[in-house]
Amino acid sequence: MQCVFQYLSDQGVRPRDLRVVYESIPLSPGMGEMLQFVAKQGSCFEVILISDANTFGVESALRAAGHQGLFRRIFSNPSGPDARGLLALQPFHSHSCARCPANMCKHKVLSDYLREWAHDGVHFERLVYVGDGANDFCPMGLLAGGDVAFPRRGCPMHRLIQEAQKAEPSSFRASVVPWENATEVRLHLQQVLKTC
Ligand SMILES: [Zn+2]
């Protein structure tokens, strides 16, 4: 993406041009309603976003869709206009995970975040993880029984979970709920809340 941003800058594309593009990217079907539902539950959920895209794009898209306020933290590769006004991108962090790309391991992001809370004596009752990409598989190691993984059907995260379950059926203790439309995620969360 650093190369892509550099190329776009060389072609005269300015950050404000890219913002317009990011703002016009539609959310996945049902995702807006699902995020509204979660926002209505108040303190029942704490919502964070971990994305291997970039802060400029993620925040532009969420602001345009009216959902930025829902997320307590947004973890993504830092990006924004540099001293010349061109869009620059930095890696999120460095890590030692062999599975993940050098700039971000979502397992490390999530485990660091949970550790921060644990340090303050806060332990979440359950984790609910909605994802699609191959880089959403690594953090699955943090999910335990009672937690829920929502892999988008047919996407790499779903395939990797299926492969892991096939190789070692007992290795995956969290519930796995594949989804195509985020309405399916919302309906499942409604059921989970009934049992809280
Ligand atoms: Zn990793």
Condensed to tens digits (0 to 9), the pLDDT of residues 56-91 reads 999 999 999 999 999 999 999 999 888 988 888 999
Give residue 93 CA to ligand 1 midpoint distance, Å. 12
pTM: 0.94
Residue 195 has pLDDT above 80, yes or no: no
Edge-first strand order for the sheet with 148-151 is: 128-131, 148-151, 175-176
Give residue 160 CA to ligand 1 midpoint distance, Å. 13
Give residue 108 CA to ligand 1 midpoint distance, Å. 7
Encoding tokens for residue 94? 């460095």
Encoding tokens for residue 46? 């704490």
Give me the pLDDT at residue 172, please.
87
Average pLDDT over residues 20-38: 96
- Residue ranges covered by each domain of the chain: 1-195
Higher pLDDT, 42 or 55: 55
Average pLDDT over residues 138-163: 97
Give CA–CA dist 159/85, Å, rounded: 40
Would you say 147 and 129 are in contact if contact means Cβ atoms under 8 Å apart? yes
Give residue 103 CA to ligand 1 midpoint distance, Å. 10
Give me the pLDDT at residue 54, please.
96
Give residue 1 CA to ligand 1 midpoint distance, Å. 19
Average pLDDT over residues 140-158: 97
Give residue 33 CA to ligand 1 midpoint distance, Å. 30
Average pLDDT over residues 42-60: 95
Give residue 100 CA to ligand 1 midpoint distance, Å. 4
Q: How many residues does the chain have?
A: 196
Give me the pLDDT at residue 196, please.
64
Residue 184 has pLDDT above 80, yes or no: yes
Kindly state the percentage of the chain with pLDDT values over 90: 85
Side-chain half-sphere of 15: how many Cα atoms within 13 Å?
16
Per the prediction, the chain carries an average pLDDT of: 94
**132 annotated among ligand-binding-site residues:** yes
Confidence of residue 176 (pLDDT cuts 50, 70, 90): very high
Is the domain spanning 1-195 CATH 3.40.50? The answer is yes
Give residue 95 CA to ligand 1 midpoint distance, Å. 8
Condensed to tens digits (0 to 9), the pLDDT of residues 153-170 reads 999 999 999 999 999 988
